[in-house]
Amino acid sequence: MPSFINTFQYTGLLQQAIIPAGTTHMDVYLWGGAGGGGGGDRSGPGRPGASGHFVSATNIDLTSYKGSTLTVAVGGGGSGGSTGGGAPGGNNGRSITGYSGGIGGHSGPSGYSG
């Protein structure tokens, strides 16, 4: 039985892999991008962003997809927020399909976290 391993990382482009003929099942492991760190404010330096979430699915039936192409749109991790009063929050690494997390919160006008 043929097997293959493909690893996809954020590139901002769609990525593809051909499912080899004879492949009957697939396991998928997905790690979400980490959040960006917060910008500093009057109470001190920003905090690090949260780590990405992990999900998996095993034994996905591929018997009707022999020789098909798998297309993947990988989102990126969030960028860090800025320091200072009214500073913007970080942006996320949006995938081409638009499925990704939101942007980070803005700090308050006096430089306190929002």
pLDDT digit string (tens) for 62-87? 887 766 888 887 777 777 777 766 65
Cβ proximity of 39 and 46 under 8 Å: yes
* Residues contacting 92, CB < 8 A, separation 6+: 33, 36, 75, 76, 77, 78, 79, 100, 101, 102, 103
pLDDT in tens, 1-31: 556 788 888 877 888 888 887 888 889 898 8
- With cut-offs at 50, 70 and 90, classify the pLDDT of residue 90: low
